[in-house]
Amino acid sequence: METFKIILPATDYVAVLPQMVLVATALIVLIMGVFKKFVNTSGVGLTALAGSVLALACALFVGHHGGPSSSFAGMVLDDGFSYFLTLVICIIIVLTILVSLNYGVFFENVKSGEYYSLVLFAGVGMVFMATAGNLILLFVALETMSISIYALTGFHKDQLKSGEAALKYFLMGAFGSAFLLYGFAYIYGATGSLDIIKISNFIKTHPQILHLKFMVAGFVLMLAGLGFKISMVPFHMWTPDTYEGAPTSITGFMATGVKAAAFAALIRVILVPLAPMQHSWVSLMWVAIFLTMTVGNLIALAQENIKRMLAYSSIAHAGYILLGFLSGTGLAQAGMLYYLMVYAFMNIGAFAVVALLCKKGEEFNNISDFAGLGFKYPLLGLVMTVFLFSLAGLPPTGGFMGKFYLFTEALRSGYVWLVVAAGVNSVVSIYYYLRVVVIMYFKPEVTENAVVLTAVSPGIIIALAVATTAVLIMGVLPSYFFSFAGNSIFSLM
């Protein structure tokens, strides 16, 4: 009888250290939540914060030394791309927890252990999505993330809106996963492997399989499945409803973290291995990108609810990022990563401001609630203005540089009309972002039921300060971050 030896070198565990820290913290937090009698309620959130900061430190200092490598028999890839996205996602988790600490003052249930552990588990899923080298791990990570977020969306159990948002997200999310899996099945059938690197090599050595119907069907189905997650038109229906109904701290998390992880999967699974197929998806993607930008921006013009407006704006931003996908060059992919990083800071920042405007058990989400806020709370108004300028793509913010990189690469690849459409869309989007700024500074304050900042904890001040600084620095000194993104793309396995 044969004996099996399983040898796992020590470096394997180093490659997943941030994930291990996140899982351990999530479990500790969950247990702390159960022993409410013995643990101070703020202790739960602070433990989660400490754990996520530790994970960020691990991602920053321990991961990725030397060239690209894979561990756990090719399941986890440790290259520059993993490093970059692990960092971005860990930053998103830390910022989300900082925002949640303050949001918990208004909503008692957000203080609980299960809230923080679900956030951390969703974060683990996102990190694994960005580092997965095998479609099996990618799928399990995607579902770890999604299932945690379904539960978090419905976390305001007393609000029907929250439950409705969870229902819609759940049904659409599960529907999308089924498409993604069917796509995986066809790719597996055509290439005989679920390992992304083996798929990539197989396609390089057997170019004739690109004409198989299986490959084309697999590509379209995978694109549809990931399209649900990045809210690409026509798979965007759930986005505004879910973003509006979910707790604001979670909306920021969904808009940035889920999108970053899904774009990472898009680059890893479709853009890199299926690159030889590129000519066959140009027209399809052209139409999808045009619709994504235009639909998102046009409907955002008509919104009165700020969360809903930011939801439509996030659809439009997905369109801009997909421009990099269509161009497909290395620099365009670096532009995508750069934009994902800026987008994380500016969007979490904007949602953090929205999450501040609450009172006990109630959110102020109407754009009219912002009237007079700019003079009443000058710093808050200034910070929100920076985020909105960045979202609109005005200099000197990171959003401007991100769009600049994506648009120039698309132009260089020859998509002139699409870039023109993107430019027109950016101009249109300035209207609805600046409308909020105008209301903040030039509308007199409403007299009844006015917004009062009742609780501003140090956590959210740190989060806002970090996000504002990052958005401005990435706008003024973009080359450092862009070359970081570029290096991470070029060491992609």
Partner 1 sequence: MNDYQSVYLALSAILFGVGVLGVISRKDAIVVFLCIEIMLGAVNLAFVAFARANQSAEGLFMVMCIMAVAGAEAAIGLAIFVLLYRKTGTINIDKFNLLKW
Residues that bind partner 1 (CB under 8 A): 135-136, 139-140, 143, 147, 150-151, 154, 157, 160-161, 163-168, 170-171, 174-175, 178, 181-182, 184-186, 188-189, 192-195, 240-241, 244-245, 299, 302
> CB-wise, 23 or 90, nearer to partner 1?
23
Q: Which is nearer to partner 1, 183 or 486 (CB)?
A: 183
> What's the min distance (Å) between Cβ of 175 and partner 1?
6
**Which of 176/319 has CB closer to partner 1?**
176
Question: Of 321, 327, 335, which is closest to residue 401 (Cα–Cα)?
Answer: 335
Question: Closest distance between partner 1 and the C-beta of residue 134, in Å?
Answer: 8
> What count of other Cβ atoms lies within 10 Å of the Cβ of residue 53?
17
The structure tokens listed for 199 are 């798929």
Letter for the amino acid at 165? A
Within 8 A by CB and 6+ apart from 179, the residues are 221, 222, 224, 225, 228
Kindly state the smallest distance separating residue 241's Cβ from partner 1, in Å. Answer: 4
Between CA 263 and CA 283 the distance in angstroms is 20
Asked if residue 234 has a cis previous peptide bond (ω within 30° of 0), the answer is yes
Q: Closest separation between CB of residue 137 and partner 1, Å? A: 9
* Contact assessment for residue 334 and residue 489, using Cβ atoms and an 8 Å cutoff: yes
Tell me how far, at minimum, the Cβ of 233 lies from partner 1, in Å: 16
In the complex, least distance from residue 168 CB atom to partner 1, rounded to whole angstroms:
7
Tell me whether residue 138 or residue 384 sits nearer to partner 1 (CB atom): 138
Are 401 and 337 contacting, i.e. CB atoms less than 8 angstroms apart?
no
**Which C-beta is closer to partner 1: that of 174 or that of 197?**
174
Identify which of residues 188 and 286 has a Cβ nearer to partner 1 in the complex: 188
Q: Which is nearer to partner 1, 269 or 321 (CB)?
A: 269
CA angle 334, 337, 339 (to 5 degrees): 110
As measured in angstroms, the least distance from the Cβ of 166 to partner 1 is 5
- Give the CA distances from residue 102 to residues 116, 126, 307, 434, in Å, rounded to whole numbers and listed in that order: 13, 24, 18, 27
Give me the least distance between CB of 284 and partner 1, in Å please: 19
Nearest in space to 364 (alpha carbons), one of 298, 433, 446, 429: 446
| Integer angstrom CA distances of residue 299 from 211, 243, 407, 439 | 39, 15, 23, 19
Nearer to partner 1, 83 or 186 (CB): 186
Q: Return d(Cα 383, Cα 397) in angstroms, integer.
A: 12
446: Cα within 13 Å, side-chain hemisphere: 14
Nearer to partner 1, 309 or 323 (CB): 309
β-bridge partners, 462 = none
- Tell me the HSE value of 267 on the side-chain side, using a 13 A CA sphere: 32
**Minimum CB distance to partner 1, residue 487 (Å):** 32
